[in-house]
Amino acid sequence: MLTPLVTKSLPILSLVMEDQRHCRSSTVLSQPLLPTAVERHDSHGRAKLVNSIMANSGIAFRLAFLFLIATLSIWASYESSKGFAITILNQAPDSPAGKRFDLFYVSNDKATRVVLNASNFVEHLLYLDDDGDAKKPVSHVTLRLAAERFPGEVNVLPSGEDPHGFVIDVSPQVMEASDVDRAVTSSVLRGMARVWLWDGELAAPPEILSGAVEYIAAAAGFGGAEVPIRCGRDHGKWFEKKDPRAVARLLGLCEEREEGFIRRLNGAMRSKWHDRTVDDALGKQAGQCLCVPADHDSNINHGYLIS
């Protein structure tokens, strides 16, 4: 009796097993294919990466553009602040002085900064901020290390090409000083002082111009040793044949007694020089403030000494 039961159950078991296989197959087939999912994920990742790179590139480009604009703005402000073009020349490049000049002042553009700083100091001493047209026109300054030594340390010449251009020649001996920075700055300052000073239509006495240069140098802390001064009876010739340092002391005395005298004197030299130019700038005869009796208590009254 058992045999028929077993025989009948086999088809049922087969059907059950077939149904299970069919269910598993259906389940597997109903799931998405793994490679497709991976490919879609990779495509999405690549798209995000490209977008990220493009976004970063855009930011980098904008930052670079802003940096360029800022650099151009700073450069434009720097150029406009100069007010004049500057050229640096070295006429002795193979000499020890020339090599030193190139190394310390040309390669790093320090020479240009020295010129600008000196010019700024001199301009503020000789001119008011609102002087405008009263200021001497200067369009180009050439700082040049001369090929050969010459008397003194600095010489200023007009430029042959530009009516408002000037050449400041610095003697090679300046580069041999123990304190080169001080020597170069002092020379350039004197050169720029001469550049910015009017010259009375080329008629101003050289002693006055040299004395004014020395006065400016002393005001900047580059004055030389004091020279004892004694004035004669002829106060009208107080500056003639005198050491520039002596004239600088006399001009300084006038400035102390009449503030703004140096600025007014320079303004007066914009016009043609005449014998009363100094007196007019001072508002009185120069002799009245330049000299006093050397010794009030002695019988010596023929000499006068700066007070």
Q: What digits encode the pLDDT tens for the residues 267-294?
A: 999 999 999 999 999 988 887 666 543 3
pTM above 0.85?
Answer: no
- How far is the C-alpha of 286 from the C-alpha of 283, rounded, in Å? 9
Give the model's pLDDT for residue 50.
Answer: 63
Give the model's pLDDT for residue 77.
Answer: 47
279 CB contacts (<8 Å, ≥6 apart)? 285, 286
Coil, helix or strand at residue 300: coil
- Look up residue 283 and give its amino acid: G
Give the model's pLDDT for residue 45.
Answer: 66
Cα dihedral 280→285→290→292 (10° resolution): -160
- The residue whose two tokens read 């006093």 is 292
CA 77 from chain center: how many Å? 11
Q: What are the pLDDT digits (tens) for 156-181? A: 999 988 999 999 999 999 999 999 99
Give the model's pLDDT for residue 284.
Answer: 86
- How far is the C-alpha of 181 from the C-alpha of 175, rounded, in Å? 9
251 CB contacts (<8 Å, ≥6 apart)? 211, 212, 215, 261, 262, 265
Report angle CA 144, 146, 151 to the nearest 5 degrees: 120
Give the model's pLDDT for residue 64.
Answer: 75
160 CB contacts (<8 Å, ≥6 apart)? none
Q: What is the pLDDT along the chain (307 residues), one digit of tens a residue?
A: 444 444 444 444 454 455 555 545 444 444 444 444 445 556 666 666 667 776 677 777 777 777 776 665 555 445 445 589 999 999 999 999 999 999 999 999 999 999 999 999 999 999 998 877 889 999 999 999 999 999 999 999 999 889 999 999 999 999 999 999 999 999 999 999 999 999 999 999 999 999 999 999 999 999 877 777 665 555 567 788 888 999 999 899 899 989 999 999 999 999 999 999 999 999 888 876 665 433 333 332 223 333 3
Structural domains of the chain, with CATH: 83-196 (3.40.390), 200-307 (no CATH)
Give the model's pLDDT for residue 303.
Answer: 30
292 CB contacts (<8 Å, ≥6 apart)? 304, 305, 307
Give the model's pLDDT for residue 5.
Answer: 40
Give the model's pLDDT for residue 224.
Answer: 78
